[in-house]
Structure 1
Amino acid sequence: MGITYRRILLKLSGEALMGDLSYGIDPAVVNGIAEEVSEIAATGVQIAIVVGGGNIFRGVKGAAAGMDRATADYIGMIATVMNAMTLQDALEHLGVPTRVQTAIAMQEVAEPYIRRRAIRHLEKGRVVIFGAGSGNPFFTTDTTAALRAAEISADVLFKATKVDGVYDADPAHNPNARRFQSLTYSHVLTHDLKVMDSTAIALCKDNNIPIVVFDLSVTGNVRRAVMGESIGTIVGGLCEVC
C-alpha cells in the first residue's frame, strides 16, 4: 500500500508522553514516538506536530483551582514548549532535522511561528513542531492543531490518543460502547462526541481537513495511518450512523 498523505499534522496530547507515569515525560515513550516519526519522515512525508502540555500543566485545572484562567493557559502553553523541545531532542538523536516554532516568542530556544517559514522547513524535509499553542488563552491545543493544519495546507490531521477511535460511549466504563469507523463533522458536532473541541472540528470542516483518530500506543500505527490503512475513526468521510 502506498503513501496516502504527503503532508500531515500529527496532534500529540501531553498525556501521551507520560506513558504509565502519573506526571511528566517518559523518555521511552518519547523515543518510541520519535522512531515512528523518523520512519515516516524517511519516506518523504512532510510532518508537522502539535503537542499538548497536560502531562505538566493543564490550564483548565489551574483555573478550577482558583487561578486566573488566562494566566493558567499561558503556563500551559509554556509546558507545551517543554514537550516540544523534548521531542525535538529525541528526533535529532535519530538524525531527523527538526525545528520548534512557538506562538510565544522564545528566541533563545525556538523560532517564532511564521507560516511561510514553517512550510519551507517542511518542503526541505524538516519535521516542524509547533509549541505554545496558538499563543492565545482560552484556546486548546486541539484548536491549534486544526488551525496549523489549515495554515500549512495539511492533507490530514492525525489525532493520536490513548483509545483506538471514536465511540458512542466511554469504552472504559461501557463494555458495549460502539466504535465508529467513519463520521461526518456535523454528526460529531451535533452529538458532542468529544473527538476534539467544537472549534477544532468546525475549523477542519470549513477547510475540508479529514481527522483520523487512532491509538498511539500501538507500535506502527502512525505509519499505518499515513499509508491510509483502516485504523481508528476518520472524521470527514461518510457517516455510518446518520
Structure 2
Amino acid sequence: MTLATPAYKRILLKLSGEALMGDDAFGINRATIDRMVSEVAEVTAMGVEVAVVIGGGNIFRGVAGGSAGMDRATADYMGMLATVMNALALADAMERQGLTARVMSAISIEQVVEPYVRPKALQYLEEGKVVVFAAGTGNPFFTTDTAAALRGAEIGAELVLKATKVDGVYSADPHKDPTATRYTQLSFDEAMVRNLGIMDATAFALCRDQKLPVKVFSIIKPGALKRVVLGEDEGTLVYA
C-alpha cells in the first residue's frame, strides 16, 4: 500500500500534561497515552520527523494544593520535573510500540535523560527518531507553550501542533454556545486582536516573529494528527 504524501516534513507536537490524564483526576492514563502514541507512529511511518514538547500539569496537579504560597520559581522547577516524568512515560510507550524515542531535558539530570543539545536533536530527527523535549525551556516563569515555540524554531519545524481537547479555535466556547463556529485559519494579528488565548503571549510572539505557523487541533479525535500532516481541513491554522 502506498502511503499518502505528507504536507509537512518536520513537526513539533505540543502535548499538555492534562492530555495524558484521560478521564483521571491526575496522573497518566495508560490507554490514553498508548492511543496518542499510535497516532504519532502513524505519521512517522509516512516519513514525518516528529518532536514533542510535553507539559506536566497532570502530575503537578496532584501536589498543587501543597504548592499554594510557594515561591514561584520553586514551583516552576517542580513543574519542570513533572514534565521529565511525563517525557519518560511517553518515550516508554513509544518504545513499546516500536518507535525509537530520545528524551532531552533542558535541565541537567544526566543519570536519567540526556541534556538538550540542538545538533544532537537534529541528528536524532534525521535518523527517524522521535525526540521528546522535557523540562520546558529550563527557566522559571516560562510555559511549555514557550518551550514549544522555542524548540520548534530551533529545530526548523515547519509547523507547531498544539494538541487540545477541542478540534480547533472557535468564535466562542463550543461547549456552552452551540452557535460557535470553528475558524479554519487566522493570522497571528487577528488572533491577538480577538484575544483568543491560543498560546501564552511570549510563545505567540515568538511564533509570529519566526513565521512559524501553529495548528490547533484535537488530540482525542481519531486520525486528526494524520489529517493535519496531510494538509487536510483539520483544526485551525494560525499563520504569520
TM-score w.r.t. the length of structure 2 is 0.94
Letter in 2 for 1:10: L
Q: Secondary structure at the match of 2:59?
A: coil
Query: Which residue of structure 2 aligns with residue 53 of structure 1?
Result: 56
Give the unaligned 5+ runs of structure 1.
238-242
Query: Which residue of structure 1 aligns with residue 143 of structure 2?
Result: 140
Q: Secondary structure at the match of 1:183?
A: strand
Query: Which residue of structure 2 aligns with residue 240 of structure 1?
Result: none
Query: Which residue of structure 1 aligns with residue 15 of structure 2?
Result: 12
Find the aligned partners of 1:177 and 1:40 in 2 and give their Cα distance: 30
Query: Which residue of structure 2 aligns with residue 122 of structure 1?
Result: 125
The answer to whether the aligner puts 1:80 opposite 2:83 as a matched pair is: yes
Find the aligned partners of 2:66 and 2:158 in 1 and give their Cα distance: 35
**Does the 8 Å contact 1:62/1:72 carry over to 2?**
no
1:181 to 171, 181, 184: 184
Please list every run of at least 4 consecutive aligned residues from structure 1 whose deviation after the TM superposition is greater than 6 angstroms. Answer: none
Find the aligned partners of 2:178 and 2:75 in 1 and give their Cα distance: 36
Query: Which residue of structure 1 aligns with residue 45 of structure 2?
Result: 42
2:73 to 52, 57, 70: 70
Query: Which residue of structure 2 aligns with residue 172 of structure 1?
Result: 175
Query: Which residue of structure 2 aligns with residue 202 of structure 1?
Result: 205
Find the aligned partners of 1:108 and 1:147 in 2 and give their Cα distance: 25
Letter in 2 for 1:159: K
Find the aligned partners of 2:65 and 2:129 in 1 and give their Cα distance: 35
2:24 to 2, 21, 25: 21
The answer to whether the aligner puts 1:218 opposite 2:201 as a matched pair is: no
Find the aligned partners of 1:230 and 1:34 in 2 and give their Cα distance: 22
TM-superposition CA deviations, 1:60-81 (whole Å, max 9, x none): x669821111111110110011
Find the aligned partners of 1:90 and 1:7 in 2 and give their Cα distance: 21
The answer to whether the aligner puts 1:96 opposite 2:99 as a matched pair is: yes
TM-score w.r.t. the length of structure 1 is 0.93
Identity of aligned residues (%): 54
Task: Please report the RMSD computed on the Cα atoms of aligned residues, expressed in angstroms.
Answer: 1.6
The alpha carbon displacement at 1:38 in A equals 1.2
Letter in 1 for 2:211: N
Q: Which moved more, 1:32-41 or 1:97-106?
A: 32-41
Q: Secondary structure at the match of 1:3?
A: coil
Letter in 1 for 2:85: M
TM-superposition CA deviations, 1:13-61 (whole Å, max 9, x none): 1010001111110000110111111121122111000000111116xx6
2:195 to 192, 195, 200: 192
Letter in 2 for 1:11: K
Letter in 2 for 1:118: A
Find the aligned partners of 1:33 and 1:163 in 2 and give their Cα distance: 15
**Does the 8 Å contact 2:16/2:56 carry over to 1?**
yes
The alpha carbon displacement at 1:174 in A equals 2.3
**Does the 8 Å contact 1:34/1:91 carry over to 2?**
yes
Find the aligned partners of 2:110 and 2:65 in 1 and give their Cα distance: 27
The alpha carbon displacement at 1:120 in A equals 0.6
Letter in 2 for 1:217: I
The alpha carbon displacement at 1:173 in A equals 2.4
Q: Secondary structure at the match of 1:108?
A: coil
